[in-house]
Amino acid sequence: MRLLVLGGTEFAGRAVVEAAAGRGWDVTVLNRGRHTPVPGVRSLRGDRTAPGGLAALAEGGEWDAVVDTWSAAPRPVRDAARLLRGHARRYVYVSSCSVYAWAPPAGYAEDAPLVEGAESGADRTDYARDKRGGELAAVEAFGADGSLLVRSGLILGPYENIGRLPWWLTRIARGGPVLAPGPRELPLQYVDVRDLAEWLLGAVERELSGPYNLMSPQGHATMGGLLDACVQATGAQAELRWTDPDVVLGAGIEPWTQLPVWMPPGSEGHGALHGADVSRAVAAGLRCRPVTETVADTWSWLKALGDGGAPGEAPQRADRPRVGLDPAVEAKVLGL
């Protein structure tokens, strides 16, 4: 299989490239050259946001599929898809469950109402409209049968550049009492970035098309399982102090951002971010590794970034705010 990945050096794009190379595929990447590429792939240079930034692709090339993880203004998706529609059989756009009109009810499937997408030539608007605009641009160029829309939810795993799981791991590694937002049995939905990559490549082989919600089945993991796995992986002397959601919210702590991953039970946010119907993706081959493996491998990656056994600082996307809770706020809530 011949695969073109637009980007391919960070998080989801890198995981796709590594998985494809592991399968022996012929992989080409196009990016700005700011990060070290995966060994053994063909690298083309180009900035898709700049005039002439796709020139390296215009010189020719034929691919079975293109994978695009772009998440800003939809114009670069439109430009790439239009350029490549005569050179690739399938366009895979890694989208987001944020394209559903807020707030989708728990159990929502791919036919749930969608936000109005930004125009394909528009400048940046907001994340949800831009992602939907990217979907529309891909479908416009490749048609419904030639485009695959991967509506991912929370993505975790090695190379994460948002900071959610790395924050929990580094916080727990410091040890001591840790504010653990309850309840322990709160169900979570996420997808390990490597499971996303493997499913995506399998979908390319099977020539799947259309939208797929892509995250773990409901019940795959819980908040308690995630944080217990962090304690186990780090080996830290940490005490998880499970705290009632009302106490957390009463302290003015923001779910999802100050306490990454967590959304209070019964909230619109929990239903939207941890309550999707993923039966279509599961029927199409989605397999999700245990949360303990995702956490342990992410910790190993963080330690490899560091020096002398201490974890290094995870990369941070410039267009996303940093996540995490101020230690002083945590201590106050815990009465320390």
Q: Domain locations in the chain?
A: 2-152, 159-188+218-274+290-334
pLDDT tens digits along 275-308:
999 999 999 999 999 999 999 999 999 999 998 7
159-188+218-274+290-334 and 2-152 share a CATH fold: no
68 three-state secondary structure: strand
**In 3-state terms, what secondary structure has residue 168?**
helix
Class assignment of domain 2-152? Answer: alpha beta
Which CATH code for domain 159-188+218-274+290-334? Answer: 3.90.25
Pairing of the two strands 187-188 and 221-222: antiparallel
* pTM, to two decimals: 0.96
The per-residue pLDDT string of the chain (336 residues; one tens digit each, 9 = 90 and over) reads 999 999 999 999 999 999 999 999 999 999 998 888 899 999 999 999 999 999 999 877 899 999 999 999 999 999 999 999 999 999 999 999 999 999 999 999 999 999 999 887 777 889 999 999 999 999 999 999 999 999 999 999 999 999 999 999 999 999 999 999 999 999 999 999 999 999 999 999 999 999 999 999 988 999 999 999 999 999 999 999 999 999 999 999 999 999 999 999 999 999 999 999 999 999 999 999 999 999 999 999 999 999 877 788 888 888 888 999 999 999 999 998
Longest Cα pair distance anywhere in the chain, in angstroms? 64
Residue 80 token pair: 């790439």
CB-based burial of residue 280 (10 Å sphere; 0-12 exposed, 13-18 middle, 19+ buried)? Answer: middle
- Looking up tokens 């350029």, which residue turns up? 83
